[in-house]
Amino acid sequence: MSFKIMLLPGDGIGVEVVSSAVKVLKLVAEKCYISFEFNEGLMGGCSYDEYGTPLTDEVLEECRQTDAVLLGAVGGPKWEGLPHESKPEAALLKLRKSLGLFTNIRPAKVYDSLVNSSTLKPEVLKDTDFVVLRELTGGIYFGNPRGYDDNRGWNTMEYSYEEVERIARIGFDIARNRNKLVTSVDKANVLECSQFWRKVVHEVHKDYPDVELRDMYVDNAAMQIVRNPRQFDVLLTSNLFGDILSDIAGVITGSLGMLPSASLGTKHALYEPIHGSAPDIAGKNKANPLGTISSVAMMLDYTFKQPATASLIDKAIEQTLRSGFRTADIYSEGDTLVNTEEMTQLVLEKIEEMNTD
């Protein structure tokens, strides 16, 4: 089997963590008799510096011609003063919209060996394992009109029936293979758009009588994630709310550097860690590569339909953490501090040791 992967390292630590993930992919390819063809392009601030745009038409077309895209991170203070359409983050929105990536899957799982790495109590965190399912191509990030002048700023939150229905069905399908619970998060007490969201989700739920559905306001959901995260299985929510809640989940794992994500459409897929470009540590070999390595495990599972190979990577990460190795973002007294390259090498060694028969 052969697959094409488009690499978009982006800005800051994106370059380092994507390099780590590619090393892992190359190793599992050898062990599991899979072939990968890699292409690489510029996206984000680095693309703006080179071409005057954060995402060229040529790179976008290359993304369309591949089986999956692996993104590092985009943005940084250097480009904050640019107009909206030229900002590195605008490239990410354009990529998601152009590839039709309407589903963002962000797991939040607490490894037993990291239960003390968060600021939350271990007894609160233990056995936490849920998924934030974020609608990605609609809502307030894409609605029109939008803009600002000297006196006011405005954005439009809107959803069509189809946009809500398709993400809801994916949420119920995922829950069927987990613990059969969907918590739909909205702000239906004050927002008409959320009232519409809730109405459509409940209509879709009629086709899934075996899955429990709960409704929760977004402010309560934010509180409950840090109060009792074990109560959740699949969190289903809109673009803006999902963006915020999935970052709150970083508190649970101890670091955003641990969190992977998948953005899926009907034809295309994008995988990326949810952390930013971290310009303060870029180029210093300090970044945590595990979020990106976990993202390629999701790629192997969701897009390439290689769950056993994905499991190989997940087990290697878990064993490495269990052995006490930590990058700076998850380090505690008594751990063994390692840098980006060392953490990557440790995961590679664990994979190498595993039997794939």
Q: Which residues are the active-site residues?
A: 141, 187, 219, 243, 247
Query: Of all helices (H) and strands (E), which one includes residue 263?
Result: strand 260-264
Q: Please say whether the beta carbons of 346 and 335 come within 8 A.
A: no
Structure tokens at 202: 């409940």
In the DSSP assignment, the letter for residue 134 is E
Residue whose tokens read 């994905």:
310
H helices of the chain, where? 14-32, 45-51, 57-64, 88-98, 122-125, 161-176, 192-205, 218-227, 239-253, 290-302, 307-322, 340-353
CA trace torsion 263, 138, 141, 259 (10° rounding): -20
- Phi, psi (rounded to 5 degrees) for 11: -115, 165
Query: Which residues lie closer than 8 Å to 116 by C-beta, 6 or more apart?
Result: 122, 332
DSSP SS3 for 118? coil
134, 168 Cβ separation under 8 angstroms:
no
Q: Which of 281, 282, 239 is nearest to 106 (CA)?
A: 239
SS3 of 326, please?
strand
Question: For residues 13-50, b (16+ Cβ closer than 10 Å) or e, as one string?
Answer: bbbbbbbbbbbbbebbbeeeebebeeeebbbbbbbbee
Are 186 and 197 in contact, with CB atoms under 8 Å apart?
yes
